[in-house]
Amino acid sequence: MFITFEGLDFCGKSTQVKLLENYLKEKNKNVIVIREPGGTAISEQIRKILLDRINDSMKNETELLLFAASRAQLVHEIILPYLQKKYYVISDRFHDSSIAYQAFGRNLQLEFVIQLQKFVIGNAIPDITFFIDIPVEEVLNRMSKVKNIELDRIETSPDGITLRKIQFYERVRNGYLYLCERESRIKKIDGLLSIEEIHNIIIKYLESVK
């Protein structure tokens, strides 16, 4: 089974990925966890280029294609082989991130971004996607508690806590909400609930669809 987690930066999905991994392993399931961008030696190198703040001149088109390249490698090297071996494959972000961030957030052409994802992921379509939804104010609130140095290129562009940044995250969130309406595989969860409440919703949902 292929499960992906999505949401705005600081929505708490990485914590939930870890909790789900532990839960499935306790049930003696074979589980592999990956993160995007990254997850293979080649994809981790692309991740460095994408997230390093030194690359602040990166164009939106370049960004889209690098995410796609990283993802293509991950699909063919890891995701498809492990799905064939009947593993639970859990990914911290996947193609919905490109639709939300690059198409909606960066204003790249939606139809093209969707077609590109189809080319990149082929049959590796997630069975379930958990979208952990938090309001944009909460992103900025959580971001302000992190040391600036720890933020990556995408989190720092547009610069600072500006109106442009709020608008960027509003567009990304609208992208996710657009996807939620169209894709029945996406389960939206209120990200303001406690860590434990969110984990329980995820477990219950998984048990109900098995």
Give the interface with ligand TYD as residue ranges (CB under 6 A).
9, 14, 35-37, 51, 67, 93, 97-98, 101-102, 152, 154-155
Dist CA 11 CA 198 (whole Å): 11
Which lies closer to ligand TYD via its Cβ, residue 17 or residue 31? 17
Q: List the structure tokens of 64.
A: 């889209």
Instruction: State the nearest-atom distance from the C-beta of 8 to ligand TYD, in Å.
Output: 8
Instruction: State the nearest-atom distance from the C-beta of 199 to ligand TYD, in Å.
Output: 17
Instruction: State the nearest-atom distance from the C-beta of 187 to ligand TYD, in Å.
Output: 18
Q: How far is CA 131 from the centre of its chain?
A: 9
Q: Are 129 and 20 in contact (CB under 8 A)?
A: no
Which lies closer to ligand TYD via its Cβ, residue 40 or residue 97? 97
In the bound state, the residue with its beta carbon closest to ligand TYD is 101
Q: Put the strands of the sheet holding 2-7 in their side by side order.
A: 31-35, 88-92, 2-7, 128-133, 186-190
Which lies closer to ligand TYD via its Cβ, residue 30 or residue 167? 167
Dist CA 67 CA 100 (whole Å): 13
Instruction: State the nearest-atom distance from the C-beta of 200 to ligand TYD, in Å.
Output: 22
Dist CA 49 CA 152 (whole Å): 11
Dist CA 202 CA 172 (whole Å): 23
